[in-house]
Amino acid sequence: ARAETENVRRQGQADVARAHKYAIEKFAEDLLPVKDALEQTVNAAASVAAETIKAGAELTLKSLNAAFGRAQITEIDPAGEKFDPHRHHAMQVVESDLPPNTVVTVFQKGYMINDRVLRPAMVTVSKTPESGGGNGAAA
């Protein structure tokens, strides 16, 4: 009985190790057509019109977005939203007519996988304009 328990434990550890090693396999399979399409675009770039390249890039992006969707990867594009330090990284703070702590500009979208931040969005955040700054400048 003790030997069987040890075998079951070892088999369980091996199963967990395989699961970790190959967990990304489905996502990698979903990305292969995206890579193929990008390679075709690069190889054809010199001999096709810019509109054709643009159309190919749009289809490739659509394919990539579908792969992200299947992997539960979602965009964080917070323009106009309240700043969230857990999902956004403030690159700068600027005076704005928007309410304080509102995302004014998105420099780079962020991404989440399920409910975990993969990369925060890089943003500019609003602050209340300084009033009466005493510099003598007329508005």
Which of 77, 80, 79 minimizes the C-alpha distance to 119?
77
> What tokens appear for 89 in the block?
């990284």
Distance CA 100, CA 130 (A): 12
Better pLDDT: 50 or 88: 88
Q: To which H or E segment does residue 108 belong? A: strand 103-108
**Phi and psi torsions of 78, nearest 5°:** -90, 20
- Range 58-76 average pLDDT: 94
Nearest residue to 99 (alpha-carbon basis) of 128, 131, 124, 122: 128
pTM confidence score: 0.73
CA 123, CA 78: separation in Å to the nearest integer? 8
Distance CA 120, CA 76 (A): 7
Query: Could you give the maximum distance between any two Cα atoms of the chain, in Å?
Result: 89
Band the pLDDT of 131: cuts 50, 70, 90.
low
Share of the chain above pLDDT 90, in %: 59
Report the pLDDT value the prediction gives residue 137, as an integer from 0 to 100: 45
Q: What is the pLDDT of residues 1-20, one digit of tens each?
A: 888 898 999 999 988 888 87
With the CA atoms of 50, 53, 54 and 58 taken in that order, what torsion angle do they form, in degrees rounded to the nearest 10?
Answer: 180
Q: How confident is the model at residue 132 (pLDDT cuts 50, 70, 90)?
A: low
SS3 at position 41: helix
pLDDT digits (tens, 9 = 90+) for 37-62: 999 888 888 888 888 888 889 999 99
